Amino acid sequence: MIKNKFIVIEGLEGAGKTHACIYIKNLLYTKYNIKKILLVRQPGSTKISEIIRKLIKKKYSENLTKETELLLMYAARIQLIKTKIKPALKKGIWVISDRHDLSSLAYQGGGLGIKKVIINQLKLLFLNNFTPDFTVYLDVCPKIGLKRALKRNSLDAIESRSLEFFTRTRKTYLKYIKLDKKSITINANENLQIVNKNIKKNISIWLKKQYI
């Protein structure tokens, strides 16, 4: 029996993260008989974190500064990790998270231009060595991702940012994913069936390694 793990799904808007989280949960449940699984999203998944999520995503006449956005993201993340994720992991529950701190490096770092050293200081101060056991990065072209996001509903404050912002964000994602040995990249430009097939294949390979 494999010890419970912390799995994170990363990617731009429209990459299919929510679907991937649900798909992986169902895959673990049906194929690997893993019954105790918690799905969460960042920012969000606690009462306080959901309030912070709304603050970040709502459009205001007064824009959030990039530093304010970063600190709000970490406030929501810390609340979720301390009140839900870590307690669940201690109980032997698997956790699948829609985003984690790599999102801050990509969005607030690459996208907004906050220096990596500042973000890493926050990570070290509040998260210490708490990192995912496995990260699935869904790589999507910004134009395709935003087109998909627009089909869902009206764009929020982050989704409404420029194509250049998301191009920088994607570039940062790709840079750091290459450095992370506990991650894989899935081409999310493909249709859903192909994406699901590739996720299933890579999850299977990763799980087999856990037995070694």
pLDDT tens string 76-128: 999 999 999 999 999 999 999 999 999 999 999 999 999 999 999 999 999 99
Q: 16: annotated binding-site residue?
A: yes
In whole angstroms, give the CA distance from residue 16 to residue 37: 19
Structural domain contains residue 150? yes
Structural domain contains residue 39? yes
Residues of the chain above pLDDT 70, percent: 99
Q: Which domain holds residue 58?
A: 6-210
Q: How confident is the model at residue 61 (pLDDT cuts 50, 70, 90)?
A: confident
Q: 164: annotated binding-site residue?
A: no
Give the number of other Cβ atoms within 10 Å of residue 134's Cβ: 21
CATH (domain of 36): 3.40.50.300
Note the pLDDT of residue 190.
97
User: Is the pLDDT assigned to residue 211 strictly greater than 80?
Assistant: no
pTM above threshold 0.85? yes
User: Is the pLDDT assigned to residue 33 strictly greater than 70?
Assistant: yes
Note the pLDDT of residue 141.
98
Q: How confident is the model at residue 188 (pLDDT cuts 50, 70, 90)?
A: very high
Structural domain contains residue 1? no
User: Is the pLDDT assigned to residue 186 strictly greater than 90?
Assistant: yes
109-133 burial, b at 16+ Cβ within 10 Å, e below that, comes to bbbbebeeeebeebbeeeeeeeebb
State which amino acid sits at residue 187: N
User: Is the pLDDT assigned to residue 182 strictly greater than 90?
Assistant: yes
Is residue 132 reached through a cis peptide bond, with omega within 30 degrees of 0 on the bond before it?
Answer: no
User: Is the pLDDT assigned to residue 58 strictly greater than 90?
Assistant: yes
* More confident site: 155 or 7: 7
Mean pLDDT for 5-12 is 98
In whole angstroms, give the CA distance from residue 95 to residue 192: 23
Q: How confident is the model at residue 49 (pLDDT cuts 50, 70, 90)?
A: very high
Structural domain contains residue 189? yes
Q: 17: annotated binding-site residue?
A: yes
Return the sign of the alpha-carbon dihedral for residues 106, 110, 114, 120: positive
User: Is the pLDDT assigned to residue 145 strictly greater than 90?
Assistant: yes
In whole angstroms, give the CA distance from residue 146 to residue 167: 11
What is the domain count for the chain?
1
User: Is the pLDDT assigned to residue 212 strictly greater than 60?
Assistant: no
Note the pLDDT of residue 2.
82
Structural domain contains residue 53? yes
Structural domain contains residue 93? yes
Q: 12: annotated binding-site residue?
A: yes
Q: 13: annotated binding-site residue?
A: yes
Note the pLDDT of residue 209.
87
